[in-house]
Amino acid sequence: MSDVFLKLGQNPYARRMVKTLGLPLPMPQPLRRSHGPAAPNPLQGRTAVVGGAAHSSLAAPVARVMDASGARVQVAGSAALRERFANGSSLPEGAADARADALVFDASWLASVADLHAVYDFFHPLVGALGSSGRALVIGRPPDEADTAEEASVRAALDGFTRSLAREVGRRGATANLVFAHAGAEDRLAGVMRFLLSERSAFVTGQPFHVSARAAAGGDQEDAQALAGKVALVTGAARGIGAVTAERLAEEGARVLCLDRPEDAELAREVAERCGGSVLSVDVRDSGAPAQIASSLADEHGGVDIVVHNAGVTRDKTLARMARSAWEDAVEINLGAPVAITRELVARELVRDGGRVICLSSVAGLAGNMGQTNYAAAKAGVVGFVRGEAGALASKGITVNAVAPGFIETRLTDAMPVVVREVGRRLSSLGQGGQPRDVAEAISFLAAPASAGLTGQVMRVCGGAFVGA
């Protein structure tokens, strides 16, 4: 079902009328989304304003990313900072009245409360210039690596700042995110920055990302066909997010094994045909499913590089009215299956070094939800699983992460009562629901070499939802 307010938001006359009359109607801004394989120059032809300090330990890596982004880089700062940028120019007078497609601030040098004022000094005159579907990005160091309590407090302040900024710029379809670069992970910063500055992250906003060297060395290549030669397993691939994910991974060059239950074999076959993949008909809840999946991957592909645990169900009822079978279905399919399948693949050493394991969680698992004690328990369990498994597999360069979708426009949300659906759409900073492609973009990024610095983390694809934020 289409979003009426989003369509109205595309009409400048309707927007002007609502503003003139002072009507309390939500007018979300259409989001600029990516099409086709990922590109290494996400800001090609656009304007990015960068600020920070020349003495920052991250000034050089940030400059390299921005120089390679394809943007017209303008530097807000000293001549010494500007010299870091090969293609940068000074921010011209009156820049606050111009348009910027990205605002990037290197806050990694902040050490005192007084230093924190530099965040205000950079964003205050420029935030009004951030254009539709623009990107605000803050780069910092993690609080737990600070030398003093004051330094830790300043680093932590960046989180609250960025979450709030995301609320403010969301009305124009823009996003704001924070990247904490851990010591020793500077060379892994580029891939995460490119993703967050690109149109691939259209529905990702208001959250921190920890880039670390926890997993063994990996690359940060972000060219088209980044997954060429990789084998990907996608469970629940017959429809919805799973189907779009399978197609998106294939778009990046992966050979995709589309897994779904036997009842949906025909739908899974159609997806496999579209993405040039193959089909495996298995019910993930069956006790023999992990061994069957592992044997199929071993026999047909010799292993697997990317495992996407997307299969899931909802069995919604308040706890007092919930049948035990509804509890078991939600817990076993959403949590038990990913744990058992991953355990089997790892035990048989089928997940290749440098591999990726990506699990679907949900904002319901982060914040809880009425009538979903079973589903929320399972999805919260997924978060615990990726955090625990990430440490166990880090030495092999295998990363383990979760993606937590918020309100995504699917056949399930179309079936919601209209009031519930509208509230779900408007409870995000961007004022609208996401698309299955938004989730697939996050998964395809986490599947790529560029995401080597992220492991044991949860990426929300929720538009900055108030619930679970």
Instruction: Name the residue with tokens 């680093």.
Output: 155
**Topology, domain 34-211:** Rossmann fold (3.40.50)
Strand order across the beta sheet in which 231-235 lies? 278-281, 255-260, 231-235, 304-309, 351-360, 399-405, 458-461
| pLDDT tens, residue by residue, 224-252 | 678 999 999 999 999 999 999 999 999 99
| pLDDT at residue number 98 | 74
pLDDT tier at 11 (50, 70, 90 boundaries)?
Answer: low
| pLDDT at residue number 420 | 66
Q: Residue 392 burial (CB < 10 Å; 0-12/13-18/19+)?
A: exposed
| pLDDT at residue number 369 | 87
DSSP 33: -
| pLDDT at residue number 22 | 52
| pLDDT tens, residue by residue, 146-158 | 999 999 999 999 9
Choice among 84-93, 124-133, 340-349 with the minimum mean pLDDT: 84-93
Where are the chain's structural domains? 1-30, 34-211, 231-461
Residue 328 contacts by C-beta under 8 Å, 6 or more apart in sequence? none
Residue 305 above 70 pLDDT?
yes
pLDDT tier at 93 (50, 70, 90 boundaries)?
Answer: confident
pLDDT tier at 87 (50, 70, 90 boundaries)?
Answer: confident
Q: What is the mean pLDDT of residues 182-204?
A: 97
| pLDDT at residue number 300 | 96
Residue 257 above 70 pLDDT?
yes
3-state secondary structure of 52: coil
Residue 367 contacts by C-beta under 8 Å, 6 or more apart in sequence? 467, 468, 469
CA dist 337 and 323 (Å) reads 20
| pLDDT at residue number 24 | 47
Q: Are 400 and 339 in contact (CB under 8 A)?
A: no
CA dist 365 and 377 (Å) reads 6
| pLDDT at residue number 16 | 57
DSSP 28: P
pTM of the model: 0.93
Q: Where are the beta strands (DSSP E) in 266-412?
A: 278-281, 304-309, 351-360, 399-405
CATH 3.40.50.720 fits 231-461, yes or no: yes
Q: What residues does 177 pair with on adjacent strands? A: 137
Residue 447 above 70 pLDDT?
yes
| pLDDT tens, residue by residue, 374-421 | 999 999 999 999 999 999 999 999 999 999 999 888 776 666 566 566
Q: Which of 147, 139, 214 is nearest to 177 (CA)?
A: 139
Q: Which two tokens stand for residue 123?
A: 């964003």
| pLDDT at residue number 21 | 47
Percentage of the chain beyond pLDDT 70 is 88
CA dist 262 and 426 (Å) reads 37
How high does pLDDT run on average in the chain? 91
| pLDDT tens, residue by residue, 335-386 | 999 999 999 999 999 999 999 999 999 999 999 989 999 999 999 999 999 9
| pLDDT at residue number 419 | 59
Residue 465 above 90 pLDDT?
no
Q: Please report, for the chain, how many H helices and E strands are present, in that order.
A: 17, 14
pLDDT tier at 23 (50, 70, 90 boundaries)?
Answer: very low
Kindly report the three-state secondary structure assignment for every residue of 418-453: HHHHHHHHHCECCCCCECHHHHHHHHHHHHCHHHCC
Same fold across 34-211 and 231-461: yes
Q: Are 182 and 442 in contact (CB under 8 A)?
A: no
| pLDDT at residue number 18 | 43
Percentage of the chain beyond pLDDT 90 is 78
Choice among 5-19, 258-272, 438-452 with the minimum mean pLDDT: 5-19
Most confident by average pLDDT, 105-119, 207-221, 413-427 = 105-119
Active-site residues, by number, are 375
